[in-house]
A = this chain, B = another copy of it.
Amino acid sequence: MNWLNDVKWDAQGLVPVIAQEASSGDVLMFAWMNREALEQTAALGRAVYFSRSRNRLWFKGEESGHVQTVHEIRLDCDNDVVLLKVTQLGHTPGIACHTGRHSCFFSVLKTDAAGAVAWEATDPVLKDPESIYK
């Protein structure tokens, strides 16, 4: 698989991956892949990541049912970051985040009237995580 050799894997054998919703352009999440995860993603047409916390392949949606269909796989100019164009399945609108939100990037840096700067969760929880992960 020459195309897998073109990827510059880091010292841990991983590459960072951005998942973007094909229909909306929304950045849904950021994760990591090892060589096998990227190979499986291309072969299956669904997102397969490498879970650093569990130290194993993570077939996105394996517990939640929130599978990502992969339409396109892109590589950046340094060959060390992957971008997926996906459809987020299992719920409408799509839920990519383990908190039950559409996207993992739901916290926005805001400045209040008094000038205090803080991260504010702006996007709604679409489904209770308790009911996602039974």
Chain A residues proximal to chain B, CB less than 8 Å: 1-3, 6, 16, 18, 20, 24-27, 29-30, 42, 72-79, 81, 83, 97-99, 101, 104-109, 117-119
Would A119 and B3 count as touching, CB distance under 8 A? yes
| Distance in angstroms between the alpha carbons of A18 and B25 in the assembled complex | 13
List the B side residues contacting A119 at CB < 8 Å.
3, 6, 75
Would A30 and B42 count as touching, CB distance under 8 A? no
A133 to chain B minimum Cβ distance, whole angstroms, is 14
Residue of B nearest to A4 (CB): B117
Would A109 and B27 count as touching, CB distance under 8 A? no
Would A2 and B118 count as touching, CB distance under 8 A? yes
Q: What are 25 A-B pairs with beta-carbon distances under 8 A?
A: A1-B117, A3-B117, A3-B119, A6-B119, A16-B30, A18-B27, A18-B30, A25-B25, A27-B27, A29-B76, A30-B76, A42-B109, A42-B117, A73-B109, A74-B108, A75-B105, A75-B107, A75-B109, A75-B119, A76-B104, A77-B98, A77-B99, A77-B101, A77-B106, A79-B107
